[in-house]
Amino acid sequence: MIPTNVGSRQPEPSASAAAGDYEETVGRGVIDAPVLVHQSDSTIIYGLHTGTFIKVARDPQPSQEQITRLLQEQNVAAFLPESVRKREVLGISDYNGRTAVEFKWANGITIEEWLQKVDRRSDSTLQGEDFTVRVRAAMAIVKTLADFHDNGVVYNSLNTRDIVLSPTEEGYSATFIDLSRSVIVSRDDFSGESIDKVRAKENDLRTLGKLLYQVFGGSLEDLDPARIHSDYGDDGFVPTRKRGKHQLLREGLPIYLGSLISALLDHALLSTGVCYSDARDVYHDMKVYVDDASGQLGRIDLDDDMMTSRLRLPQNMFYGRQAQMSLILHLFQTSIEFGNVPVPQMAMISGCPGSGKSTLVDQLKQPLIDLGGCFIEGKFDKAMRPDTVLATALDRFFGGILETSKFVGNVQVSLRWRIHDILGSTENNPFLEMLPNLKAWLSEDSSQFSATQSNDIIGMGSSGLAVSSQRVKYLFCKLIGAMASRSSPLILFLDDLQWADETTLDIARMIMTDPDITHFLFLGSYRDTEVNRSHPLLSKLNTMEEQGVTVVDVKVGPIQKEVVNTMISEILYTPPSLCRPLSSIIHSKTGGVIMFILRFLQSLNADDKLWFNMGGKRWMYDLDKIRHTEIQDDVVSHMTHQMARLSKDMRMGLMFAACLGRKFPSSVLAKATKHEVTDAFTQTCIDYGFFQLDDVNVYMWQHDQVQQAAYELIPKNKQDSYHLLIGTRLYMDTPDEKMKDLIFFVVDNMNHGVALINDHDKRTEVAQLNLQAGEKALSSSAFQSASEYLLAGISFLDTESWSTDYDLALRLYDAASEALFVVGEFDTLMTIVEEPLRMAKCFEDKLNLYNNMIRTHSCTSMVENGISTCLSIISQLGEDFPTEITAEIYHREAQEVKRLLHGKTKNDLLSLPTMTDSNSLGAMHFLSHLLSLAFNTRPALSPIAVFRLVRMTLRKGMCNNSAFAFACYAGWLVSDPVNDVEAGYYMGKISVEMMQRQGCTEATAQIYALVYGFVNIQKEPWQAGLQKHLTAFEVGSQVGDMEYAFTNIFQHYNASLFGCGHDLSVIAEALRNYMQRAYQCKQINLWKCLATLLQLSHDLMGIKDNAFTPHFTEETCYQDAKLKKSFAVCRGLVHKRKYIAILTGDVISAATLYNVANEYTLGSIGLGRQIHMMVGEFVDGLLGFLLGRKYKGTEESTKWMAIGCKCLDVIKGHERNSDWNFANKMHLLEAEYYFCIDDHENAVASYRLAITLAREHRFCHEEGLAEEKFATYLMYCNQSDAALYHFTNAKIAYTKWGAKVLADRISKAMAILAPLCSRGSTAF
């Protein structure tokens, strides 16, 4: 029914109820029986039987203005597009001689009626579902007004009675029903050409504010324009912070929406740019609120900071980095799914200081953890010890495990076992002393582990360092590998890598290029403003890329203006449109650097240019003053300028704290300031965003640039004085038993004041402190830091120190030379040792210095210098070592050892007493150095060194070098011209047992390389020693003996390929991995040897890849080795080529290579007895008999037959010691010999025996070779069927080996032979 109540607005009836009740003739202007629906002071509305309505002037004689308004409704309705929500006007009609507007009724209820319903069910606060309904209604109203304005119409009549709300799926739609006061304006008018019309639009916005105020529960009676505009006087802007009554907006209204409404009401602020000028901006800002998934904009309460108008910045603000975040998450998910295969990937985040690199990772941390990742993070500091960062990060991670029990059940047990396998026992393990939390975690249930001596993994090196540099790198690498798994992928984040040390960068490289480490993501960040092309970080990254690592560069630049606006909007809880003028100026002044933006905002707040208005419950700002604010060029200078305005006590506290480094306990700060700094100071620093609490009573600077700003408060000419004062206070206030805990704080500060300390006793005291710090750093394997402390300690010494403080001076120089050697500062080492070598009181005090000198000579290819120094020292230690070795000397030395060994049982040798004489111990040590140095350059000295080592052990007792000495002696026994395999085998076993009894397992790699790589291969099956070499590699890697570690790897795969005939594809894959590691560890010669094996595998498999890439080709590698006299590499390449030539039937090339191989002399301790060399003797025999047949009846044949027979005799000798390894080879050579002399019966028997033994002993490659040779012989005998049968067997064996090239070669021979055969081939 159409409502008949007159005098008040009522809800409109539905269209279906009104339609058809009345008839009218609209076209003739005749309207029948209208019903009065509504009347006001000026108009009346009638309902018609057609369901439409008319509106006429109440006055029978309406004024022109009233008629104009009625006509305006028609004009505006026609002007606006259908999409705009307004009352639908059907046209202009005549009613009893009066102008009438005909329209359709708008469905819904008016705002006035809606508010009555909502207010009845709401309490005094805005919350829950009720508040959501109000927001949706407000959005609908703002949208319709924005549509009006966008289409050139000012509504000019916003009130609760002229807007109808109707529900929609999304919330509400708002229809504006009275268009009589609306004004059509052009866009130019909006720009200011028609002041009256522009003001009408401004009035729309102001009345919109009132309307929204009502929608959110406010009463118009509460509005106080004087209070709203309280910050503006007759003369314009007056910044005040009046508290007064601040309940202008209803309790529970979010600050964001309160700011929006307040800005609409504060029309007087329009000229400042702080208020709205466009309804569309209001709509967008409302939509921002509705779309805020985080709920951050919904803040309601006013805290003390806002009440006092102090701007507090939230931590870890994250803006404008979504693309970078998505990229890193994708990398991590890839590492989970594919495990870094086939290409390992890492992400390097770069940007200027304060650009938000660390914040980006902070935001990534939880999503990465949610994906199952374990997150480890460390941060480098410009002023602190970089070589402790990785250990600290890992230890903190395990501390978290102890606290949270992250790993439980089988996952925990599995992880513990994996780590235990790498590190061994927790007892007396120097590496674990660097990681006390890991040690504690491993010790929680140590009963599950079998008793393992720590010496199996960790041993004292010859230098006396607890854990060598290479060992540290290896163990860190292995620890990461043990931690990362598919079930618990690992993320390692290292921040500020521009300050990283060489060791940590090298560990990162090793981790990224280690093929055994999977399900791992490395994240790094650095300041691109501080890293140029020559920086070590970029050099290391380039090296990684060369080694196959994909380095993904994630750029974090300045944020865009719109992002700055979003950030400021959320900080100030203020709609984005209201922040845009402010953010534009701030972006311009700060360049979009996040940290600079935040600090600038704080300074504006401190200067009363940005404040919180209690009346409007919103942040306000003085745009003009901000625009004219001068700002420093960089954030550090800006912060220093702002800090300088703080109180004197605050400034002093900041300056002292800045001298303590990035992180410090509150107790240290208290001592540094003589307890004048209180908890109030630290809390204020946290409030200002200077500090953050890192742990219980441990504070950390919010950013290193904040620390730098505080540090620059100190005048440059007084900075050293401040440091010295702090160091002195800490030293004087710390008892001796506590000094070890604060030693780094004390020394770091005192060293700054070196130029200010002139008193000899005080300088000596500081030198002693530096020694203490250096030794502590060494015990933690922080070698770079140790070298810096020790060199600083040396700088405090003077010429008197050698007489007044001799022990201190000597200890400083000794420790410094060790640390410098580890970090590779060889030039500095050679410079500093000159003084202690000159000033030392006795020869014994020089030995450690000489030791580090000789090691330096070895590393810098100054081998002759090293040999000369060794000989000189050995002589001074009482060993008269000959410098020129004659045959007579060689024989005499050998006989003396044999004499001393005569009659000694195994038990006698293993029960020798421990060597105690210091000179003898020193001589043993330097004889070992001599043996290593002379091995390649002066081989004649090597056996004499071995004899002396064994002789001294027999006379003076056993030491750590004795087991290695006996292993070398075993190698000498099995070599030419002695060839006493039984005696060598016996001595080899004694050397292994001697090593185990002595507990000097750090020598495992050396001893296993000699015993299992040179000696036992002549006695035991070659398959038996393979695992020993892998064990030796692991131990050698753990103790830092990379040369012998990779020697064992070469021996393992040399035996697998040449000796055992294992699957070539498996060998090739393993070799690629080990080659990568060898190159990482700078074992270039061994890398070349491994590349030779890989190239042989490629050649046999038919793979065209260059195994020597990217550094060489096979030929350039050979020429390089020849130039550098690396004869072992040359021999390996020649034997590889000769082997391929024989197997592929290229006898001419093989003959040439035979002659080339003879140009390279063998070493003096068993080098001729490596497996590829012994297989080479077998191959030479095949070549000799093959060419003997080829040139039969000529002198050339005689020569080659002699070579074949000589090789056969050598192989027979080997077979007597090890029939397993050599019987099949001997019988094949015999068969070839019988082939040459036409002894058919013996040839057939020998071929068959060679095939059978090769098969039984699992030498499939030599089984294939024997089958091929037998088939060739049968072809010679015109037995095609039998030949085809054995060719088929040869192909099967070669295929099993993986030698596609050889299998294809056999297939071609079979294709030629097949037409000559009967239907089936048979064995012969």
The per-residue pLDDT for 1226 is 97
SS3 at position 245: coil
CA pair distance 774, 754, nearest whole angstrom:
17
Supply the DSSP string of 413-449, one letter for each residue: HHHHHHHHHHH--STT-HHHHT-HHHHHHHHTTGGGS
Which of 1059, 1071, 1075, 1000 lies closest to 1026 in space, CA to CA? 1059
Question: Per the structure block, which two tokens stand in for 1043?
Answer: 């040369």
Which of 1258, 1242, 1265 lies closest to 1182 in space, CA to CA? 1265
Residue appearing with tokens 């709509």: 283
The per-residue pLDDT for 125 is 57
Considering 480-494, 595-609, 1217-1231, the range whose residues carry the highest mean pLDDT is 1217-1231
Q: Where are the alpha helices (DSSP H) in 877-956?
A: 887-901, 906-910, 918-937, 941-956
Q: What is the dihedral of CA 996, 1002, 1006, 1012, to 10 degrees?
A: 40
Least confident of 305-319, 342-356, 792-806, 1134-1148: 305-319
pLDDT band (50, 70, 90) for residue 222: low
Which of 370, 373, 376 lies closest to 336 in space, CA to CA? 373
The per-residue pLDDT for 921 is 92
Considering 303-307, 490-494, 513-517, the range whose residues carry the highest mean pLDDT is 490-494
Q: Is the pLDDT of residue 337 over 80?
A: no
SS3 at position 572: helix
CA pair distance 1118, 1047, nearest whole angstrom:
19
The per-residue pLDDT for 354 is 83
Question: Roughly what angle, to the nearest 10 degrees, separates helices 469-483 and 1026-1039?
Answer: 110
Supply the DSSP string of 717-765, one letter for each residue: GGHHHHHHHHHHHHHHTS-GGGHHHHHHHHHHHHHHTGGG---HHHHHH
Which of 53, 98, 96 lies closest to 71 in space, CA to CA? 98
In the chain, the amino acid numbered 1231 is: A
Q: What is the mean pLDDT of residues 749-761?
A: 90
Q: What is the mean pLDDT of residues 341-358?
A: 84
Q: Is the pLDDT of residue 494 over 60?
A: yes
Question: Per the structure block, which two tokens stand in for 1092?
Answer: 């030779």
pLDDT band (50, 70, 90) for residue 232: very low
Q: Is the pLDDT of residue 156 over 80?
A: yes
Average pLDDT of the residues of the chain:
84
Q: What is the mean pLDDT of residues 897-924?
A: 92
The per-residue pLDDT for 240 is 45
Q: Is 476 left (phi over 0), alpha (psi -120 to 50) or beta?
A: alpha
Least confident of 405-414, 429-438, 574-583, 725-734: 405-414
Q: What is the dihedral of CA 1257, 1259, 1263, 1269, to 10 degrees?
A: -120
359-392 in b/e burial notation, b at 16+ Cβ within 10 A?
bbbbbbeeebeeeebbbbbbbbbebbbbbbbbbb
The per-residue pLDDT for 464 is 42
Q: What is the mean pLDDT of residues 1241-1257?
A: 96
pLDDT tens digits for range 1262-1279:
999 999 999 999 999 999
Rg, C-alpha atoms of the chain: 45
pLDDT band (50, 70, 90) for residue 455: very low
Would you tell me how many other CB atoms lie within 10 Å of the CB of residue 262?
A: 26
Q: What is the mean pLDDT of residues 454-477?
A: 54
Q: Where are the alpha helices (DSSP H) in 424-560?
A: 430-433, 436-443, 469-483, 502-513, 536-546
Q: Is the pLDDT of residue 327 over 60?
A: yes
Which of 570, 688, 513 lies closest to 1081 in space, CA to CA? 513
Question: Which 3-state string (H, E, C) describes 52-78?
Answer: CEEEEECCCCCCHHHHHHHHHHHHHHH
The per-residue pLDDT for 809 is 94
SS3 at position 453: coil
CA–CA distances in Å: residue 1202 to residues 106, 1134, 1184, 1208, 1248: 118, 22, 7, 10, 24
Q: What is the mean pLDDT of residues 1148-1159?
A: 89
Q: What element of type H or E holds 83?
A: none
CA–CA distances in Å: residue 52 to residues 19, 23, 72, 1131: 7, 10, 19, 108
CA pair distance 48, 24, nearest whole angstrom:
7
Residue 252 backbone dihedrals phi, psi, to 5 degrees: 95, -5
∠ CA(1203), CA(1207), CA(1212), 5° rounding?
Answer: 150
Which of 1009, 1071, 1062 lies closest to 1036 in space, CA to CA? 1009
The per-residue pLDDT for 897 is 94
Residue 619 backbone dihedrals phi, psi, to 5 degrees: -80, 140
Q: Is 1298 left (phi over 0), alpha (psi -120 to 50) or beta?
A: left
CB of 720 within 8 A of CB of 751? Answer: no
Q: Is the pLDDT of residue 292 over 70?
A: yes
CA pair distance 392, 398, nearest whole angstrom:
10
Q: Is the pLDDT of residue 932 over 50?
A: yes
Q: What element of type H or E holds 392?
A: helix 389-404
CB proximity list for 1284: less than 8 A, separation 6 or greater: 1271, 1310, 1313, 1314, 1317, 1321
CA pair distance 437, 415, nearest whole angstrom:
15
Q: Is the pLDDT of residue 794 over 50?
A: yes
Q: What is the mean pLDDT of residues 352-362?
A: 85
Measured in whole angstroms, how far is the alpha carbon of residue 553 from the centre of its chain? 12
Q: What is the mean pLDDT of residues 474-485?
A: 87
CB of 638 within 8 A of CB of 631? Answer: yes
CA–CA distances in Å: residue 1247 to residues 20, 1230, 1254: 116, 8, 11
CB of 519 within 8 A of CB of 490? Answer: yes
Q: Is the pLDDT of residue 290 over 80?
A: yes
CA pair distance 156, 207, nearest whole angstrom:
9
Q: Is the pLDDT of residue 316 over 80?
A: no
CA–CA distances in Å: residue 438 to residues 181, 416, 429, 491, 716: 79, 10, 12, 18, 42
CB of 599 within 8 A of CB of 588? Answer: no
Q: What is the mean pLDDT of residues 25-36?
A: 54
pLDDT tens digits for range 819-864:
898 888 889 999 999 999 999 999 999 999 999 999 888 877 788 8
In the chain, the amino acid numbered 1293 is: A
pLDDT band (50, 70, 90) for residue 694: confident
Which of 380, 338, 390 lies closest to 520 in space, CA to CA? 338
Per cent of the chain over pLDDT 90 is: 42
CA pair distance 1153, 888, nearest whole angstrom:
35
pLDDT tens digits for range 990-1000:
999 999 988 88
Question: Per the structure block, which two tokens stand in for 261?
Answer: 């409404």
Q: What is the mean pLDDT of residues 884-900?
A: 92
CB of 964 within 8 A of CB of 976? Answer: no
Question: Which 3-state string (H, E, C) describes 578-608?
Answer: HHHHHHHHHHHHHCCCHHHHHHHHHHHHHCC
Identify whether 342 is preceded by a cis peptide bond (ω within 30 of 0). Answer: yes
